[in-house]
Structure 1
């Protein structure tokens, strides 16, 4: 009998933001193939709250620059487990389809005849700024936003500081991103916020401008995981 795969978004790392369907699938799973960010934190929180999950947990988490299980290996593992008749939950940080390579995993499973369910999660691009009181849109301030990976080029972005920019995985390229955006319509005085470890024990907010944020981040030793928000909406943030 062929099993199944469910791609479940764990959200930004708070079990309270896990969907009811996501929790149901975790409780029914034979195997959980878990990411590092968000996913393992949610599993730990559920255990601390007395939620018993009988599933075997396989850690395929990635660290920056260190991928102990490459993506091809993850794809093959999902097929192997489901082909053996097991109900598999691929627990992914944030949302599976927002910089999560979820569709790649879904396509690989489907090509092998494995049924796949996708359960959306709360992406950190929206949830983490919210804990700092930063909306991505606000009447009269910003009506649109763009979410980018820190590895993506930022020079082509539309609009000015009224178009909010959210950078995920953007700490290591922050200096370059700030320089490029500051040289454009947004200018060097455009507000910037970095929210580290959103929903975690190390949660911290650093606020500056495109002209100062790289220096501030270095002096405060800002570390990943962090979400960078650029635009006038940053001025609405809740002070620490």
Structure 2
């Protein structure tokens, strides 16, 4: 047994080799920047010959979709991230009847009205209450047929005044007035008839008469035999026509 233990110890010494002390190494950190994730963008669009279409997109920060149907109504919505990092969403519709209508989270909101106590109703005075009660009672009586009809008061027959008769002076003045009126109407009608006739104007007629002086015929020459001196006498007839002109004006006679 002892021999076996000694043999095992020898084998262990023979198998052992000298070696240095080995310590574990610390990990070395290398700096690096992670690449940003690529933004995923999607788009779509479709339409037909009837005017219907649908399109939209989504790029991560904003999105939109819009659809138009055969009835002419357009419906759509879009959203985006504002400067505060909040997502704003807008929904809208448009048609030929109601126009463009929109609702969104980015639209201004009305300030809530403050709650104000309503005024208390005015209390009726005793006089008003009595008058209202009497009025309501009269309405009930009228609806139930209890209204008393007043007896008609007889109206006495009164003789109407007779028309005033004209005095003789009034009759004479009226007849004179009517006669003067008739005479004036006749005179005016004659004057209007005369004024309506055309006025005929004739050109003035010029009458010319020529008066000629008589011509005295005499011998052109008379010879007298004188022993020493001869004298010649001559008488020449010079016609001297005298002309007188007289203008006669004719005026139309209007009857």
| TM-score above 0.5, yes or no | no
Q: Which fold has the larger relative contact order, with Cα–Cα distance below 8 Å and residues 6 or more apart in sequence?
A: 1
TM-score for the superposition, normalised by structure 2: 0.15
The higher radius of gyration belongs to 2
Q: Which has the higher helix share?
A: 1
